Amino acid sequence: MRLICAGTPAFATHIFSHLSKEHEILALICQPDKPFGRKGELKPPHTKESLGHIGIPILQPSHIDEPFIAHIRALKPDMIIVVAYGQILPTAFLKIAPCINIHASILPKWRGASPLQQMIMSKEPYFGISAMLMNERLDSGEILGLSYIENTQQDINKLSLELASLGAKLALYVIAHFQSIEPIKQIDADASYCTKIKKSDGYIEFDCASKIYSAYLAYCTWPHIFIKSTHGYTLKLFDVSLIESSSSHKAGEILQIESPYIIVGCTQGSLRIGALQQEGKNKLEAATYLRGKHLKMGDILC
């Protein structure tokens, strides 16, 4: 089948690479290159970096306008597969060919830009991925299929790989059986929404250890979880695990030092932390960081 693929991050790359083995990819549509790092050097989307090397034409429009739509229409695709493209597609584009969106949630839960993180944060018993026939409204099209896995406390990296693998199989199934699938309408009353992750979402206080651990699993790639020190800098937490979630402590109290780890108390529960990184400095083993700050058991991590 002749496909157009539209997607930007690594999650989409994994799915599209599987499709390219069984179908003809006419073109990849992804977001424009964006400035990255302190020098502002342009960085291409993951899909462009990975799929451009195998000869797939790359299209990076800043806007989906009528000339671009006409260009895609002239390619005469049989189907358009969309995975985390990052831009609302206009009605005229959706009418070119059946547009199938592979979305990382069990719709209608978590429509929007950050479903992976929100599934983790909400402690869903199952994580899933849905295929839907796109319409003009955000992630509200008719369901064509879904797959799911159990929540085993995967972090965002592992969950992304697991769901991308499921998503590739789901996309191939929907493409092969599209004509015989009976679409199911979503129930809008059951819908929930999520927005794009901001750096500030990583800010935590040592209140509920279980909640902090979920935030770590969701944000361990970016923006990471961090506290704000009383001295004015931020302190990122790495290699975090949940010790227990019921006992009461002073918020941020250093309960144990077990090099390289430390155990920190919360008002409800406690956490093991393997590494810390002060703003503008290198990441250090947690116990090493404490020595440098002359902090000991009973002190407050700050």
Q: Which residues have C-beta within 8 Å of that of residue 53, sequence separation ≥ 6?
A: none
CA distances for 302 relative to 183, 184, 289, angstroms: 53, 51, 11
Any binding-site annotation on 106?
Answer: yes
**Residues 3, 25 contacting (CB under 8 angstroms):** yes
* Closest residue by Cα to residue 273 from 283, 293, 253, 287: 287
**Residues 222, 36 contacting (CB under 8 angstroms):** no
* Closest residue by Cα to residue 106 from 131, 81, 80: 131
Integer Cα distance of 146 and 126 in angstroms: 12
Any binding-site annotation on 67?
Answer: no
Any binding-site annotation on 105?
Answer: yes
Integer Cα distance of 48 and 34 in angstroms: 12
Integer Cα distance of 94 and 6 in angstroms: 12
Number of C-beta neighbours around residue 185 at 10 A: 10
Q: Is the peptide bond before 77 cis (omega within 30 degrees of 0)?
A: no
Q: Which residues are annotated as a binding site?
A: 105-108
Q: Which residues are annotated as a binding site for (6S)-5,6,7,8-tetrahydrofolate?
A: 105-108
